Amino acid sequence: ATKAVALGLVKTPGTAGSDDQEDSSSDEDLVPMGGTIPGTTISFDLSNGELDLSEHQINDGGCETLVAHLNEHHSDSLSRIWFLDLEGNGLSSAGGEILSRRLLPHTPLLQHLDLSCNGIGPTGAEALSHALESGAVPLLSHLDLHGNAICDMGCVALGNALASRAGSVSVLDLSANRIEHVEALAPLLYPYPYPGLSS
């Protein structure tokens, strides 16, 4: 798996020169790989390619602030993220849409996505499905959505989106999602497109 190098700061590319010239670089040449969500005391560190904000209850407003902050100030680090955990953050369908439309398209190396124990519902699941179908997170292999009340409609949308990706996701958790009819699982189970899928 591709992971970002674990550094606290990285230098932006500059002109070639001597070691003395590189050592004299100004602080403006250093790109921060961590910070704090504006308006909160919640800190994050992107230096190892992971963003773990599980169980912080940032809610939809905090999610929107986080995504805007990352896109504006950490776009380079964002493009290197391979692990994203937002379990238990009180996200609704609005939060699911924000992540799907404004964050995931900018994380091409993302492999592990955990949105469990939120409440993105069918609408959030459909937004995520559209992102997957449009080619976002092409390396995604682990998707945890348990406890999101995506219901049958969200399950069908996700199943169709994942089926279109030729089985790239090998771990999928859709438990505790109020899926009532087995037919909703049809895109995932028949024809079975995931020879290595564990769910």
* Amino acid, single-letter form, for residue 22: E
Give the pLDDT score at 40. Answer: 94
Per-residue pLDDT band for 83 (boundaries 50, 70, 90) equals very high
Q: What does the pLDDT average to over 112-119?
A: 98
Give the pLDDT score at 6. Answer: 27
Instruction: Look up the pTM and report it.
Output: 0.81
Q: Looking at the predicted structure, is the pLDDT value of residue 119 above 90?
A: yes
Q: Looking at the predicted structure, is the pLDDT value of residue 74 above 60?
A: yes
Give the pLDDT score at 33. Answer: 84
Contact call for residues 171 and 142 (beta carbons, < 8 A): yes
Q: What does the pLDDT average to over 88-102?
A: 98
Reading the block at residue 160, the tokens are 């169709």
pLDDT in tens, 24-64: 444 444 556 889 999 999 999 999 999 999 999 999 999 99
Residues 33 and 12: their CA atoms lie apart, in Å, by 12
Q: b/e string for 100-138 if b means 16 or more Cβ within 10 A? A: bbbbbebbbbbbbbbbbbbbbbbbbbbbbbebbeeebbe
* Amino acid, single-letter form, for residue 141: S
Residue indicated by tokens 């500059």: 14
Q: What does the pLDDT average to over 103-111?
A: 98
Range of weakest confidence among 54-68, 80-94, 115-129, 185-199? 185-199
Per-residue pLDDT band for 188 (boundaries 50, 70, 90) equals confident
Give the pLDDT score at 186. Answer: 79
Strands 34-36 and 43-45: antiparallel
Residue indicated by tokens 């949105």: 115
Give the pLDDT score at 7. Answer: 27
Residues 80 and 88: their CA atoms lie apart, in Å, by 24
DSSP per-residue letters across 122-154: HHHHHHHHHHHHTT-STT--EEE--SS--HHHH
Percent of the chain with pLDDT over 70: 78
What are the structural domains, with CATH classification, of the chain? 9-189 (3.80.10.10)
Q: Which helix (H) or strand (E) holds 70?
A: helix 59-73
Contact call for residues 133 and 164 (beta carbons, < 8 A): yes
For the chain, give the mean pLDDT: 84
